[in-house]
Amino acid sequence: MDCNQIFQQFGTDVDQNVVEQILIKANQRVDEFLTKEALRDVVSMLDVTSLSVVDTEDKINDLCHKLMVFRGIFSDIPEPAAVCVSPSFVETAGVALGETDIAIASVAGGFPMSQTYVEVKALECAMVEENGADEIDIVMNLGAFLAENYDATVAEIEIIRGEIDSDTTLKVIIETGELPDLSAVRRASLLAMSAGADFVKTSTGKVSVGATPEAVVVMAQAVKDYAKQTGHCCGIKIAGGVRTAEQAALYQAIVAEVLGDEWLTSDTFRIGASSLANNLLSKIEGREINYF
């Protein structure tokens, strides 16, 4: 792949004034996504996440059990799209969830730093898929990207994409909080999609700056431009610091404003979170809920 050709084809410049105008319009639409019906919808787009250094099999089993019985407790609220766990707990989650429609997602490929051998990254991704992962979240090699070694950046993603099945969803984290400017966010998004990403994702949640509205606007613009020219409708996953319904609503409004309301399904929009789920449930039910 000729990365410079990709940049020439899609462009890398970001108009700050356009970004600001989109944010103004999105903020004006936030209330659309704070109705009970809209809050129920966003629950169905959640990747309920547990990626702690102190996770145990018991903790993951408990989380998966709560997802298993979710509809029995909240009968009028759709269950979340996926559970996202560390590689060593993929099999645990698979056994616990059984034959449900809830997807099993796993971070892999040297998460969260991505600073290991590409062979190790590819093997880990293949292993989590073999153990039952339906979706895999990897981190772009930011060291290579920031050094402008774009060929190596893309090659790693392509190698991993080649090691997993075509129907396994690949999400590529571009760690927007570590990128120097919005033009870099656009370049990283374009490279990830060109290398085979099914989703571009904001953050690992392990750095000081997670998702930001400005970065998501630029990601959505890149996704729109890429879809228009290639037909590949890449999804967007928001992760890193999304804790309230109001924050989630703003990100939904941004994606709706740039890409259209049709992008707001679990096939093309996700939010990775832990505390957000409880906040959404509390808003919907009108009482404090600490379910997850």
Helix axes 90-97, 57-68, angle to 10 degrees: 30
The reply to whether the predicted model has a pTM over 0.95 is yes
CA distance 252 to 86: 27
Q: What confidence score (pLDDT) does residue 244 get?
A: 97
Q: Got the DSSP string for the chain?
A: --HHHHHHHH-----HHHHHHHHHHHHHHGGGGSSHHHHHHHHTTEEEEE--TT--HHHHHHHHHHHHTHHHHSTTSPPPSEEEE-GGGHHHHHHHHTT-S-EEEEE-SSTTTT-S-HHHHHHHHHHHHHTT-SEEEEE--HHHHHTT-HHHHHHHHHHHHHHS-TTSEEEEE--GGGSSSHHHHHHHHHHHHHTT-SEEE---S-SSS---HHHHHHHHHHHHHHHHHH----EEEEESS--SHHHHHHHHHHHHHHH-GGG-STTTEEEEESHHHHHHHHHHHTS-----
Q: How far is CA 30 from the centre of its chain?
A: 20
Question: Within the chain, which residues score under 50 in pLDDT?
Answer: none
The phi and psi torsions of 273 (rounded to 5 degrees) equal -160, 165
Amino acid at 275: S
Q: What confidence score (pLDDT) does residue 276 get?
A: 97
Q: What confidence score (pLDDT) does residue 1 get?
A: 76
> Cα–Cα–Cα angle for 141, 156, 196, nearest 5°?
105
- The answer to whether the beta carbons of residues 237 and 210 sit under 8 Å apart is no
Here the tokens at position 71 are 């509809």
Return the active site residues: 137, 201, 237
Q: Got the DSSP string for 76-108?
A: TSPPPSEEEE-GGGHHHHHHHHTT-S-EEEEE-
- The answer to whether the beta carbons of residues 254 and 34 sit under 8 Å apart is no
